[in-house]
Structure 1
Amino acid sequence: MSRTFPRLAHTLLATGLVLGSTASASAHDVWLTFSGPASARCAIVNYGHPDDRPPAFADKVVDLFMITPKGRSSLLDGLAIASDKGIQIARTKPFDDAGHTLLAARYDNGFWVRTTDGLYRNATRRLVPDAAESFWSGKFAKAITGADAPWQEVLGHDLELVPLTDPAKARPGEALKVKVLFRGKPLAGAEVERGDGKTAAAEKDIPKFKTDAEGVAAVTIVKPGPHLLVIDHRAAPSVTPDQARADLYNATLWFSTAAKQR
């Protein structure tokens, strides 16, 4: 999400680690966007926040699919590191896009520990058994390239944002309802954050929308253009307790809306 942080948080985030006590405030996001004309579209994997862009790594992308009403195809082959205005991103080879595509990716940010000396290392408890803190970090991203994409498809990501209506058809003044699923079940009481992936904002200024008992949040659309919805979730104990104490999940949904009000 678009955030500004104190110096300490930036130092911690440079390692890609999220502290359990500040999981929502300090998690880096992974989100998908795209570039190029429809006949030569490229999907882009972004990492960080608008004002804090560590490099995105292609080899951390576990899978990356384009999903259309006709089926799905992998975009992983040829995914490579690229530079966009001095920022390291991961970019796919060009593909043909009719403008109705759902893009989806899983990004394994790995295991992290905080040592008893307060240092952060990309390691597990296997090598640092006395670690003061230990986490696994997984990130799940979706984006749609235009209206009538298969936006309603549930992909089975560990943490997933599923819109209940077509996001590309949402208009300013309307509320877009989004269901949050954690391991396939509704996640109640979670906060969905709204930004655009471009504009930096202080944590206190980021609009947040809480999910109800059914895991549904009503996100107000206030302006046309790009939107980035973000959800963070911490689960303990970890699925792999021999390696980490907790699992940190991040999910995003990127889309763009038109200007005309209904």
Structure 2
Amino acid sequence: MKFPHAHALAGLAAGAAFGAPTGALAHDIWVVLVPQDGKTVAHVRYADPSRLELAERGKVVSLEVISAGGKINLKRPLKPAKAGAVALETAPFAAPPASILAVAYDNGFWTTDAADGVESNTSKSLVAKPGESWWVPKYGKTLLGPGSYTVSSHALVEITPLSEPYAVPVGGDLAVKVERRGQPLAGVKLTYGDGLEPNPEDKMPSVTTGKDGVARIPVSRKGP
């Protein structure tokens, strides 16, 4: 989970590995706004903040600006960013007020070969003696200004603020809810950072959701 930009934007990333062993969620996907030649583009960042990798364009299922007025499709064209951190870059766009940027990324099926214990990015149908198998979709949601927290991406797994993130004072905290298909997920560990600093995911602070799927993220400073 990437959160928050108190005076710019807030980003939330959710990953799911259904049937996965521990460690299958090491890669996140999230979107940041980048000014470019007087315009705005979005950079899709992927993996661990300390070890960014270029996301595969063919695995980007959707990338769009969502607002009460509709959607803007940013899925094509996508190209590697020429400057800055490793990322896929969109064409320039203008986002309406109180909108979000949402990305869905399908990292496919993974299966362990029981013969040697090695995992492959494939369905168990292609493994002679399949062991554990799991599916790994990823989701990112970036809030673009006050009021945007009320807009849903309707992702399979979604992290949603329960109040206005931009109104949270330093020293306060923000309640967020984690849901799968609209149902709360209890006992989910959420790591949080700014999505910009190259902090290893395993070093990031974390909180855990309660029975109602809600966790509280402390806001200790201004800025990202």
TM-score (norm 2): 0.81
CA distance in 1, matches of 2:182, 2:26: 22
Structure 1 partner of 2:5: none
Within 5 Å, give how 1:17-166 maps onto structure 2.
20-23=20-23, 27-36=26-35, 40-85=39-84, 87=86, 89-98=87-96, 100-115=98-113, 116-149=115-148, 151-166=149-164
What stretches of structure 1 move > 4 A for 4+ residues in a row?
none
Equivalence map 1:173-184=2 (5 Å) = 173-184=171-182
Is the alpha carbon distance of 1:123 and 1:36 closer, same or farther for their aligned partners in structure 2, counting shifts above 3 Å? same
Deviation at 1:112, TM superposition (A): 1.7
- One-letter identity of the residue aligned with 1:22: T
* Aligned residue identity for 1:212: G
C-alpha contact 1:32 1:141 (8 A) present in aligned 2? yes
SS at 1:168 equivalent? helix
Contact 2:26/2:48 (8 A) holds in 1 = no
2:189 is aligned to: 191
Give distance in 1, aligned partners of 2:214 and 2:181. 15
CA RMSD in angstroms, aligned pairs only: 2.6
Post-superposition Cα deviations, 1:210-240, rounded to whole Å, max 9, x if no partner, equal 21222111111111222xxxxxxxxxxxxxx
> Residues 153 and 68 of structure 1: is their aligned pair in 2 closer, same or farther, counting only changes over 3 Å?
closer
Structure 2, unmatched stretches of 5+, are 3-16
Structure 2 vs 1, CA of residues 41 and 224 (structure 1 numbering), >3 Å: closer, same or farther? same
Count of paired positions? 208
SS at match of 2:22: helix
Deviation per CA, 1:150-199: give whole Å up to 9, x if none. Answer: x2223321110011112233232111110110121011121221111223
Task: Return the offset for 1:76.
Answer: 1.3
Counterpart in the other structure of 1:239: none
Q: Which amino acid aligns with 2:99?
A: T
Query: What does residue 211 of structure 1 align with?
Result: 209
Give the gaps of 5 or more residues in structure 1: 3-16, 227-262
Distance 1:35 1:202, change over 3 A: closer
Post-superposition offset of 1:71: 2.4
**8 Å CA contact retained: 1:66, 1:73:** yes
Q: Give percent identity, aligned residues only.
A: 32
| Separation in structure 2 between the aligned mates of residue 32 and residue 61 of structure 1, nearest angstrom | 12
After TM superposition, list the pairs within 5 Å mapping 1:235-250 onto structure 2: none
Q: Residue 37 and residue 100 in structure 1: after superposition, are their counterparts in 2 closer, same or farther (change >3 A)?
A: farther
Give the aligned residue type for 2:118: L
CA contact (8 A) 1:38 1:98 kept: no
2:94 partner amino acid: D
Residues 27, 86 of structure 1: alpha-carbon distance in 2 compared, 3 angstrom cutoff: closer
Cα gap change, 1:69/1:86 in structure 2, threshold over 3 Å: closer, same or farther?
Answer: closer
Instruction: State the shift of 1:83 in Å.
Output: 4.1
What is the deviation of 1:46?
A: 0.8
SS in 2 for 1:126: helix
What is the CA deviation profile of residues 33-55 of structure 1, one whole-angstrom value per residue up to 9, with x for unaligned ones? 11116962212211111221222
Q: 8 Å contact 1:187–1:215 — kept in the other structure?
A: yes
CA displacement at 1:64 relative to structure 2 = 1.0
CA contact 2:20–2:133 (8 Å) conserved in 1: no
Counterpart of 1:157 in 2: which secondary structure?
coil
Higher relative contact order (CA 8 A, sep 6+): 2
